[in-house]
Amino acid sequence: MQLDSRLHSIVAAQPYPLVFATVSGAHLYGFPSADSDYDLRGVHVLPPAQVLGLDVKQETIERSAVVEGLELDLVTHDARKFFLLLLKKNGYVLEQLLSPLIVQTSAWHEELKALAPACITRYHAYHYLGFAETQWRLFEKESPRRAKPLLYVYRVLLTGIHLMRTGEVEANLAKLNEGFGLSYVPDLIARKLAGGEHSALNDADLEFHRGEYARLRTMLEKAQEASTLAEALTARAGLNDLLLRLRVEFSR
């Protein structure tokens, strides 16, 4: 996927050194519509003086704006906060770290990606089950119902199942569906691409999708039970070492 060149100037303007900046959201998931904004996510490094005191500021930097005509939502975390999120079995930050849509990278990014397998456990299934439930409730209560939350439901469930089975993080729904063969997924993606963020599903077969949601949830739960992934992550020492070296490097 060709990234918009304006993303690079936006990232270059950030106030602290970046370990990486990647694209998340609909562009990563494989169903961006013409009116989808860009979700930029990354890791910045605060100087030691800013993290040694009682009050740590700017651990998270958030910016929503239209820059050079490009609508974006940018969130970066200080390295310590991001590493702690990785240690909490957070699939969302794993997807950001391993996103193939890279706006800015570094040797530190490569080191961090190398630690990613040691951050993955079979308990990441709970992240995907919880995220799917939130999106399903959103889909059910809306009127008219939209394609976007339903696509998120299927995306997170398939990502979770694939992760439990393979240990690999794949967030692109179209690529995931090559292995699952769900006949309705291409149509939902096409509707989202054609209709935009608020594309309605006036003919949505609620009972059918309710059945598919339940079926895929059960599939994820069984995949977790059968998974050979680790019970506990083993990345803490490696992340601690990397964080210390980052602080030294960016204190110069």
Residue 116: pLDDT over 70: yes
Question: What is the C-alpha to C-alpha distance for residues 85 and 211, in angstroms, rounded to an integer?
Answer: 33
**Amino acid at the residue 176:** L
Mean pLDDT of 152-176: 98
Q: What is the pTM assigned to this prediction?
A: 0.93
Question: What is the C-alpha to C-alpha distance for residues 165 and 226, in angstroms, rounded to an integer?
Answer: 8
Question: pLDDT tens digit string along 65-90?
Answer: 888 888 899 999 999 999 999 999 89
Question: pLDDT tens digit string along 220-233?
Answer: 999 999 999 999 99
Mean pLDDT of 198-225: 89
- Tell me: domain 6-120+234-249, CATH 3.30.460, correct? yes
**Amino acid at the residue 173:** L
- Token pair of 82, please? 């991001």
Question: What is the C-alpha to C-alpha distance for residues 85 and 101, in angstroms, rounded to an integer?
Answer: 21
Strand order in the sheet with 38-44: 60-67, 70-78, 38-44, 18-24, 102-104
Residue 169: pLDDT over 90: yes
Q: Are 142 and 149 in contact (CB under 8 A)?
A: yes
- Token pair of 245, please? 């070296």
Question: pLDDT tens digit string along 1-52?
Answer: 678 888 988 898 899 999 999 999 999 999 998 878 899 999 999 998 899 8
- Token pair of 162, please? 């694939």
Q: CA-CA distances (angstroms) from residue 115 to 87, 110, 133, 171, 240?
A: 11, 9, 29, 19, 11
Please, which residues bridge with residue 22 across strands? 41, 102
Residue 204: pLDDT over 80: no
Question: pLDDT tens digit string along 122-136?
Answer: 999 999 999 999 999
DSSP H/E element including 65: strand 60-67
| Mean pLDDT estimate for the chain | 93
Mean pLDDT of 155-169: 98
pLDDT number for residue 251: 82
